[in-house]
Chain A
Amino acid sequence: MTKQIHLAAHFPGVNSTTVWSDPASGSQIDFESFRHLARTAERGRFDFFFLAEGLRLREAKGRIHDLDVVGRPESLTVLAALAAVTTHLGLAATVNSTFNEPYEVARRLASLDHLSGGRAAWNVVTSFDAFTGENFRRGGFLDESDRYSRAKEFLETARELWDSWAPDAVAADPEAGRFLRPGGVTAFRHQGRHFDISGLFNVPRGPQGHPVIIQAGDSDEGREFAASSADVIFSRHSRLEEGRAFYRDVKRRLAAYGRRPEDLKILPAVTYVLGDTEAEAAERAAEIRRAQVGPQQAIYFLEAVWGRDLSAYDPDGPLPDVEPDLDEGVSRGHAAFRRDRGELVAKWRALAEEKNLSIRELAIEVSAPQTFIGTPRTVADEIDHFVQTDAADGFIFVPHLTPGGLDELVDKVVPLLQEKGVFRAEYTGPTLRDHLGLAHRDPALSEPAAPVPAPRTKENR
């Protein structure tokens, strides 16, 4: 059977994928940028719009990293504002489970679900490092080995809070003088290793019952957590073969939890470049890579692996002759670097030798190229091929430009996917669970709730 593709849009990240030096690069903080990207995604009938989170500015060599775009708003706050200027688009917030408490996160997500009429999603991430912890009351209190036990218990607790209000708990019946139905709200009590809390939750159950749960970890524990508890996986396995392997691995874990393969959607993060011809697309792709990996970024890229200050080296010259310092981590606040750095350096040296590459050329060569490069037609075909051959259920597109980075995808590629009949031409329901084809978490309400009228929108700037 032909699978329907799911598409999501990632706000351009705080990392070197985002090109800020391009004259077309706009503000990463003005609400207009968020509005434009979200509305473009909605025009393209995307499933959802996604915001990442990083709770401490990244550092390199003990100083704040200054080469990449930096500075972003609080995810849920922006998504609540986007709820006002969109009508169907899902709104996904990354919210960490280490530096938060279940009562607050559960109520903020339920609030977003109400304000958006059932469009909220939560990407549960587990960053636990003491470096980030310095911004929080409790500091870095968690061992790495406990990151998922806390995340799992956090999510379970949040679900208990959401479930403590029956779907019909709010009667709002003035005649009978009943705001709440008797028995509609029950006290919760959670006693576990990480949380010992009790009382009454204070937000009615959201239109989706529970917001959509996204998981982005990649370790064995992360995959198991996703298989047991998530609705969507945000993965980094965006190449065809590794994508298929990841897909098989995760989907086969579902049965142990009594879940079906279609209950968990796998959406890798991907990038794209279009051209009128294959050659033009390839040329544009190379140009973007050069903008992403400037001379300073190239040095920085190598420093992360070498564990040394390499600023004395010429980015257009040969690789550093010094040996890496394997005891020293250089950068903090980045996604963990888990590979064997010594081995990597040896491999890169061989590659640079063989192809006669400078530092910058090597950095470009070995850091991730764009996922889909081609004409709108070939890209649409490739997207479809990935999905139909089970390398993914769809994709989270990460544009390299704010705010225009989705425009071409929506204008040129999405119509071709719609033509093929593999992507929706119109939304078929009001909630994100509807878009993703996921069951509502309310057995009693298998029919979607009555659509909430779209809020009036008004241009104010």
Chain B
Amino acid sequence: MTLHLAVALDGAGWHPAAWRAEGARPDRLFTLAYWADLVAEAERGLLDFVTFEDALGLQSTRLNEPDERLDQVRGRLDAVLIASGVAPLTSRIGLVPTTGTTHTEPFHVAIGIASLDHISGGRAGWRPQVSGRPDHAAHFGRRVLPPLDFSDRADPAFTRHVAGLLGEAADAVEVVRRLWDSWEDDAEIRDVATGRFVDREKLHYIDFQGDWFSVKGPSITPRPPQGQPLVTSLAHDRQPYEFAARASDVVYVTPRDREDASAVVEQVREAEAATGRAGPPLKVFADLVVFLETGGAADRKARLDDLDGGEFVSDAHVFTGTPEALAGLLLSWREAGLDGFRLRPGELPRDLVAITRGLVPELRAAGAFRTAYDTGDLRGRLGLPRPANRYATAS
């Protein structure tokens, strides 16, 4: 069976000095052509989907405030708009932008992702992300968030703060999912005899009321082609695993090694049980940052570290080595019960090209990766059924 392979795109790559590497195109980061070229390359490699990072504030090396660094990439275009711009220039690959759940209106997100699904013919996904940063909250001026302090995760104040952000995020996802269903698939009838364009019995108020907000509905956008575009989230801990179990179709996790991968998968399954998840189990993808090269990947990373003035560390495992070695690692980790991987290229486009032209052939040789795209939409590619509409009455 094929393993699932996604690539996480961000700026010039995940190493903060990647923009200074040979072959980088730092002067093109804010153009559509830059993103279109990267996604076209990923599509050439028949990857499942690409994700686009985003945030409502400038990148920073600090947790709660901006830094003053001028030597790293700063600035980002809106991820939904990048994904949408790329959609007509590609045909098969999934497009999964990030949006925030803390400050952004769920209604706007729902219609944005639904529109991306219409534009791309069923290739849209979404990665909801909380923002606990007080400096980002100040860009909105509507609430004050306390500084995040990860030094004592057992501190009840910390857990409460995180629980609040994630609870709000779960409500946001619930609103978005209801809005996607608020039009039944056959709501548009164009019935000339009665003069009706839609059957209003097939348009539904969602009447969501939660602790943080209420939303009436229905959506202004017809149900997306996939019914429910793919919802994905990144999680490192029990609370976010439970959020994923409630809200997502795919969870990205960050195991340190093969053994840790088993432990993490087990924790994800426990979270599913604890939250009483119904429907298909979470697809678990492990995130890795990759520097790929036949000889010299580690040296290349070390040179970038020197340029940046410090060793690059990540929440995810950092792999340096040959495509062949990475293929071996992925196949071994997969046995821990992982469905796939989301690779974060250290340098763009270099490590992306190494994935599509180095890693993919290796996986294929091992019979572990597709040789052609199937015909389905993004959900179908991941083996997820098109969900029934929660508002449709059986007929």
Contacts and interface: CB of A to CB of B under 8 A. Distances in A.
- Do the two chains belong together in a single complex? yes
Given A66-B198, A116-B32, A35 B88 contact: yes
A295 B87 CA distance: 41
Given A172-B27, A294-B195, A453-B33, A74 B108 contact: yes
Interface string A176-215: 0111111001000000000111111111100000000000
Interface in B278-334: 307
Interface stretch (A79-87, A241-249, A383-391, A440-448): A79-87
A178 B104 contact: no
A80 B32 CA distance: 9
B107 A55 contact: yes
A134 B81 contact: no
Q: Is chain A's binding surface mostly helix, strand, loop or mixed?
A: loop
Contact of A81 (B19, B20, B78, B87): B87
Contacts of A55: 107, 220
Contacts of B84: 77-78, 80-81
A204 B195 CA distance: 49
A152 interface: no
Interface string B61-97: 0000010001111111110111011111111000000
Given A29-B221, A115-B81, A177-B307, A84 B88 contact: yes
Interface in B83-124: 84-91, 103-108, 111-112, 114-116, 118-119, 121
A136 B121 contact: no
Contacts of B82: 80, 111, 115
Nearest to B307: A177
Contact of A73 (B91, B104, B114): B114
B30 interface: yes
B88 A85 contact: yes
A204 B71 CA distance: 16
B78 A107 contact: yes
Interface string B171-188: 000000000000100011
Interface stretch (B147-155, B209-217, B236-244, B372-380): B209-217
B216 A77 contact: no
Given A71-B188, A455-B33, A460-B90, A200 B217 contact: no
Nearest to A195: B141
Categorize the interface residue count of chain A: 35 or more
B31 A452 contact: yes
Contact of B200 (A21, A63, A201): A63
A275 B59 CA distance: 58
A206 to B, nearest CB: 9
B118 A30 contact: yes
Contacts of A104: 56, 103-104
Between B33, B87, B115, B199, the greatest number of chain A beta carbons within 10 A of the residue's beta carbon is seen for B115
A99 interface: yes
A323 interface: no
A76 B77 CA distance: 13
Given A84-B32, A200-B135, A202-B74, 17 more contacts: A64-B203, A70-B197, A71-B187, A76-B81, A80-B85, A83-B32, A107-B78, A135-B107, A137-B213, A139-B214, A177-B20, A198-B139, A202-B56, A296-B196, A452-B31, A455-B33, A455-B36
30 contacts: A31-B121, A56-B216, A63-B200, A66-B199, A68-B197, A70-B197, A70-B198, A71-B187, A71-B222, A73-B115, A73-B221, A77-B112, A77-B115, A78-B119, A100-B108, A103-B56, A103-B139, A115-B32, A117-B31, A135-B107, A165-B75, A170-B75, A172-B26, A174-B20, A174-B26, A177-B71, A180-B70, A200-B66, A200-B135, A461-B121
In the A-B complex, the 5 residue pairs with the closest CB atoms: A296-B195, A73-B115, A134-B216, A460-B91, A172-B26
